[in-house]
Chain A
Amino acid sequence: SQKIEQNSEALNIQEGKTATLTCNYTNYSPAYLQWYRQDPGRGPVFLLLIRENEKEKRKERLKVTFDTTLKQSLFHITASQPADSATYLCALAEGYQKVTFGTGTKLQVIP
């Protein structure tokens, strides 16, 4: 069956360090992968999209990599700040109308 795996355990890092979150998937051939941020009591907010033929995408302090051979995406936040604390979701789009979300990883940036 199709599966998206994100670390269910929270990730705690020190302010100023680089946070790296992982999204692994099986039995997918995604056309693209998205990352969202979700704060408590709020809906997810879109951050970045990377296509299957792209290896890396950057936006300010954010960087996403996409390895279709390893079936893995890494999401990096450089120079992390306490305001980056949130839950981060990856989402895969495979077929038409089919976007599937992972369960998310909670990031805590410690001052």
Chain B
Amino acid sequence: DAGITQSPRHKVTETGTPVTLRCHQTENHRYMYWYRQDPGHGLRLIHYSYGVKDTDKGEVSDGYSVSRSKTEDFLLTLESATSSQTSVYFCAISAEAGGRSNQPQHFGDGTRLSIL
């Protein structure tokens, strides 16, 4: 299995509080991704990173920010959590980008976040 660790695995917090989720990889892969997974919507890309300090938005980026100060760590922050951000969050890594590359993504086991 690819070395991807997400922390925490579960979190319950209140509306309006800041939340930071961490993704740590030991594969030295260039690309890292944050997804959320909700019933009926599948996996939706929030943000991704193509290198240290290089990040870009995905399709559902509003209300989220990310940072990548080291190759191995990719942080997802909810500045002021809302109930609509209750979801399961997955981090993924890949050796190359999607598109014309043929490298798959490898996923962590997710963080289940509940915002009350």
Contact = CB atoms under 8 A, between A and B. Distances in A.
Given A43-B90, A43-B110, A103-B41, A98 B105 contact: no
A91 to B, nearest CB: 8
Interface residues of B, number: 26
A12 B45 CA distance: 30
Interface residues of A, number: 27
Interface string B66-101: 000000000000000000000000101000011111
B10 to A, nearest CB: 11
Interface of B: 4, 35, 40-45, 48, 50, 56, 90, 92, 97-102, 104-110
A110 interface: no
5 contacts: A8-B40, A36-B104, A44-B90, A45-B107, A49-B104
A96 B106 CA distance: 18
A32 B96 CA distance: 14
Nearest to B1: A45
Given A31-B99, A42-B110, 8 more contacts: A43-B4, A43-B109, A46-B106, A89-B43, A93-B99, A93-B101, A96-B97, A101-B42
A103 to B, nearest CB: 4
| Top 4 A-B pairs, shortest CB-CB distance | A43-B107, A99-B98, A46-B104, A103-B42
